[in-house]
C-alpha cells in the first residue's frame, strides 16, 4: 500500500450533458473512486460525456478505460 502514497491518483467524476450543455446525469465515487453512470436515452441528439478529475488536476501518465454499452448493468 505504501507505493500508492508515492504518487497522485485521479479522483474522477463523470457528467452526461445534452447539446446545450445541461447536465442530464452525473456520477462520482460509485465504485470506490470510480464513477458509474446508467442512463436511458429517450431522444436522438448530440450528447457529450465529460470525464475529469474532481480537483482539476492532471498527469500525462494517467490512463482510464471507458466502456459504453447498450446492455444493462447488473
DSSP letters spanning 11-39: -EEEEEE-TTS-EEEEEESSBTTB-----
Q: What is the pLDDT of residue 18?
A: 97
* pLDDT tens digit at each of 74 positions of the chain: 555 566 677 888 999 999 999 999 999 988 887 899 989 899 999 999 999 988 888 788 888 888 888 888 77
Report pTM. 0.79
Amino acid at each position: 500500500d505504501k507505493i500508492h502514497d508515492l504518487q497522485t491518483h485521479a479522483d474522477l467524476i463523470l457528467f452526461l450533458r445534452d447539446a446545450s450543455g445541461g447536465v442530464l446525469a452525473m456520477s462520482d465515487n460509485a465504485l470506490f473512486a470510480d464513477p458509474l453512470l446508467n442512463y436511458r436515452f429517450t431522444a436522438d441528439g448530440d450528447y457529450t460525456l465529460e470525464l475529469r478529475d474532481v480537483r482539476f488536476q492532471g498527469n500525462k501518465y494517467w490512463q482510464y478505460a471507458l466502456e459504453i454499452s447498450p446492455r444493462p448493468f447488473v
